Structure 1
Amino acid sequence: MADDNRPLKYMRYAIGEIILVVIGILIALQINTWKEEHQAKRVEFVILTELKKNIEADILELDSTLTKVNHRIRSSKIILKSLSNNDSYDDSLNSHFGWAMVYDNMQFHTGAYESLKSSGSQLINDESLRFEISNYYDFVINDMKTSFREIRDDFYNYMLDFLRKEFLFFENAGPTAQPTDFEALKQNKTFILSLGIFVDVQRQTEKYLKITLKESRDLLEKIDARIEKIDS
């Protein structure tokens, strides 16, 4: 076309070709960007769904553990009151001793969070939610675990020795436990003091359980909202 002295027509053709190539590249980039964003949302959706399952499982266990801790505190108070009032021994106390003389623990479901940390927290595109998730597992759950460790340590350092020396039997299935000599137990100031301290530790655990339950439910609500937004 240039040899035929038609440079203007050639330039128009060349420019048209360039524009078509550029448009093709832009479309390809747009499609690639859309695919990457779609894939990122899909990955985030899967991670959040797994986190949701883990937190829901934890809420069930936290609820169950809180119920048992409340029961242990009530039974401990009944025993301390009976010892303080110099009451006569009654078989109904066996159940209260069974509840009062042991402790509770639980394993948190952290698999999804550990996977998120190893893959990179940036996979959660919502910065605020990303912070909430990190705060929940790194601080709220850790505080709850610390409380469980404290009550376990208190049991093994103090209550277990009483359970071995001052009781005829202990059955966790009931639970039930019978003291060897209830009258002697009334005079055992170390036992009474230790059980009172154990109740205080249980109360602290009860407090953290309530906090953790609230934080769990709040986080679950935010995760549900994000999942719904991604899936819409």
Structure 2
Amino acid sequence: MISFFRKIRHSLLQENRFTRYLAYALGEILLVVIGILIALSVNNWNEDRKDRIFEKKMLRAAKTGLDQDLDFFENHLIGFRLKTQAEAADFFNRYYLSEKIDLDSINYHFANLAYSFQYSYNRGPFEAIKSAGLDKISNDSIREGITFLFDFYHPRMQGLCNLGIEYRLREIQRIRKTFEVNRSFIIVDSSIVYQPPVPSNIQILDDLDFIHMVGLSYHDAEVQTNNLSQVVIKMKDLKEMIERDLANH
């Protein structure tokens, strides 16, 4: 091909057809420029395609992490641990309203007044995105949503929850010491089963400190459930944005 163009140039020069040669030369330059532009376009398209594939991979990982966190928050923290704590407080509140109580359930719910949880979430996908560069996420709303959730909202709510938990447990431990009678262990099927402390007697249920302990657990369960529910909303909003983005590309 190069030899062919060289022959044309040589022929035009020999025939002293400078104008045609100049037009031909400009045409040849134009073809080279067009070829370069096409090559650059193909290369840019290929790079964009690779970036999008990588972006989708990161977004899928972020969605998977959000799915795991949503299951943990909704089913374990709210649906189990905080529900157990609230049910324990509600058990004693029903006694204050009706003066009737299931004696066999007192020890169980007494122990659950001090039920607690650990606020944790999966930062792995977010850290991977940060490491690769947040600019890899082309959707501004998703990029801002990820940064807001993991760099601000989660740490803030984690701090608030932990403060509430620490205060409640400190108060409950202080109060419970005056009401508990220690139990050592029992033997079941030739195995030793250690028993938790239990209320010393039913009369303590009407003690003002005990009532305060019940109210503290009930209020804490309500506040923590509301806090975690707000976190769940933020996670679901971000997850829906990611799902829409993945579906549209």
**1:227 aligns to what?**
246
Q: How many residues align?
A: 225
Q: What SS class does the counterpart of residue 2 from structure 1 fall into?
A: helix
What's the CA shift for 1:80?
A: 3.8
Aligned with residue 49 of structure 1, among 19, 40, 60: 60
**Structure with larger Rg:** 2
Task: Say whether 1:180 aligns with 2:193.
Answer: no
Partner of 1:173: none
Aligned-partner residue type, residue 17 of structure 2: R
Q: State the SS of the aligned residue for 1:92.
A: helix
Instruction: Give the counterpart letter for 1:213 in structure 2.
Output: V
**Equivalent residues in 2 for 1:181-220, closer than 5 Å:** 181-187=201-207, 189-220=208-239
Does the alignment pair 1:2 with 2:21?
Answer: no
Please state how far the C-alpha of 1:215 moved relative to its aligned partner.
2.0
Matched, 1:140 2:153: yes
- The answer for the alignment partner of 2:108 in structure 1 is 95
Question: Which of 34, 39, 42 is 2:45 aligned to?
Answer: 34
2:8 equivalent in structure 1: none
Confirm or deny that 1:77 pairs with 2:90: yes
Q: Structure with the greater relative contact order (CA < 8 A, sep ≥ 6): 1 or 2?
A: 1
Q: 1:183/1:87 Cα in 2 relative to 1: closer, same or farther (>3 Å)? A: farther
Q: Answer yes or no: is the 8 Å Cα contact 1:144–1:205 preserved in 2.
A: no
* Distance of 1:212 and 1:21 partners within structure 2: 57
With normalisation by structure 1, the TM-score equals 0.85
Amino acid corresponding to residue 163 of structure 2 in structure 1: E
Structure 1 window deviating more from structure 2 (130-139 vs 207-216): it is 130-139
What TM-score results when the alignment is normalised by the length of structure 2? 0.79
Q: Contact (CA 8 Å) 2:114, 2:169: kept in 1 or not? A: no
Residues of 1 paired with 2:64 and 2:115: CA distance? 30
Q: Is the 8 A contact 1:150 1:201 kept in 2?
A: no
Q: Is the Cα–Cα contact under 8 Å of residues 89 and 214 in structure 2 kept in the other structure?
A: yes
Shift of 1:25: 0.4
Identity level (%):
23
Which residue is equivalent to 1:126? 139
Which structure 2 segments of 5+ residues have no match? Answer: 1-11, 185-195
CA contact (8 A) 2:168 2:216 kept: no
Tell me how far apart the structure 2 counterparts of residues 16 and 227 of structure 1 sit (CA, whole Å): 45
Secondary structure of 2:242's match? helix
Query: Among residues 47, 56, 66, which one is paired with 2:78 in the alignment?
Result: 66
2:166 counterpart residue number: 153
Instruction: For 1:123 and 1:34, locate their aligned partners in 2 and report how far apart those are by CA, in whole Å.
Output: 15
Q: Distance in 1 between matches of 2:91 and 2:205?
A: 14
Q: Distance in 2 between matches of 1:198 and 1:88?
A: 18
1:88, CA displacement in angstroms? 6.5
Structure 1: give runs of 5+ residues left out of the alignment: 171-175
Question: Judging changes above 3 Å, is the alpha-carbon distance between structure 1 residues 86 and 58 closer, same or farther for their aligned structure 2 residues?
Answer: same
In structure 2, distance between residues paired with 1:111 and 1:228: 23
Question: Structure 1's 67 and 7: CA in aligned 2 closer, same or farther, altered over 3 A?
Answer: same
CA distance in 1, matches of 2:85, 2:175: 17
